[in-house]
Homo-oligomer: A and B are copies of this chain.
Amino acid sequence: MPGHEIVGRVTGVGAAVTCFKPGDQVGIGCMVDSCQQCDPCKHGLEQYCQAGHTLTYASHDRQDQRPTYGGYSEKIVASENFVLKVPDALDLAGAAPLLCAGITIWSPLRHWEADKGSKVAITGLGGLGHMGLKLAKALGAEVTLFTRSPSKAQEARRLGADHIVLSTDESQMVAAKGRFDLIIDTVPYVHDINPYLPTLKLSGTLVLVGNVGGLEPFLSTIPLILGRKSVAGSVIGGIAETQELLDFCGQHGITSDVEIIRIQDINAAYERLLKSDVMYRFVIDMASLKS
């Protein structure tokens, strides 16, 4: 629900539309527009549009300034530049979170060049984290989950983790010293990232995708300086990159693990979200609106 992305089939296209036709299986992710003229937009990085992209939900349309209402609807009208083709092989409901959780993981995996031979760790096993395990594994990386919950080990292995490191167990953290090329930290609240930095290899990078705010407690520069390590951030991904992800998922049969709900059950789902009681994304079947 947080991303408000929408998937479905094309019901009609404007005269100028060249890439889609009625019946196509498509999706719209977190963005419906951007300036299309700045340097990031020209390089397929609309998520970093210098003029600010238009979110699918809770932004204002660039043409008429009306609020955008996102995926809580039966139909949506959008520029074809922001419409993605969802491979026919993919289940539509399971593909929906690829447009938010999936691309949020895919973009840093690609930017920091995770592939065969890479050692990648994912911190946190939620909507983002479970996509991290699946995608890093499918790219050929050796994949580790950092978690505070021993009970998540079996589930993590099912999703693609080769190793589990309990971040609350100091001996496991010491044993993981110098192991990872890339850590993608999906934890969506303030937490101490200092314990993770020693587990990066020389010149490794820890990418924050969930914790928006202050890095508390103070980040120590010592592992950065003495190991040429980086702390970075990343947000969703560009349109071309999102299509690349969908095509990759089509080839590898990857979707998000979802629980489909009726729109009438949204309040109960919201209460469960607050308790992290979802594996791993809720998807609303909008057909339920008229049932």
Interface residues of A (CB under 8 A from B): 39-40, 45, 48, 50, 111, 178, 202-203, 205, 208-209, 211-216, 218-235
20 A-B pairs within 8 Å (CB atoms) are namely: A40-B202, A48-B226, A50-B178, A111-B203, A208-B224, A208-B225, A212-B221, A212-B225, A213-B221, A214-B219, A214-B220, A215-B219, A216-B218, A218-B218, A219-B231, A221-B233, A223-B233, A225-B234, A229-B233, A230-B232
Given A45-B202, A202-B40, are A221 and B228 also a contact pair (CB < 8 Å)? no
Partner of A232 from B178, B220, B229, B234 at Cβ < 8 Å: B229
Q: In the bound complex, how far is the Cα of B220 from the Cα of A225, in angstroms?
A: 19
Which residues on B sit within 8 Å (CB–CB) of A214? 218-221
Which residues on B sit within 8 Å (CB–CB) of A178? 50
Which residues on B sit within 8 Å (CB–CB) of A235? 225-226, 228
Q: In the bound complex, how far is the Cα of B220 from the Cα of A211, in angstroms?
A: 10
Instruction: List the number of copies, as a whole number.
Output: 2
Nearest first, the 10 closest Cβ-Cβ pairs linking A and B are: A224-B233, A225-B233, A214-B218, A230-B232, A230-B230, A215-B219, A48-B202, A225-B235, A231-B231, A208-B221
Which residues on B sit within 8 Å (CB–CB) of A234? 225, 228
Q: In the bound complex, how far is the Cα of B214 from the Cα of A223, in angstroms?
A: 11
Q: How far is the CB of A249 from chain B (nearest CB, A)?
A: 22
Q: In the bound complex, how far is the Cα of B177 from the Cα of A7, in angstroms?
A: 37
Q: How far is the CB of A143 from chain B (nearest CB, A)?
A: 21
Which residues on B sit within 8 Å (CB–CB) of A221? 208, 211-215, 233
Q: In the bound complex, how far is the Cα of B251 from the Cα of A22, in angstroms?
A: 65
Central interface residue in A111, A215, A216, A225, by most chain B CB within 10 Å = A225
Which residues on B sit within 8 Å (CB–CB) of A212? 221-222, 225
Central interface residue in A178, A218, A220, by most chain B CB within 10 Å = A218
Partner of A226 from B111, B218, B233 at Cβ < 8 Å: B233
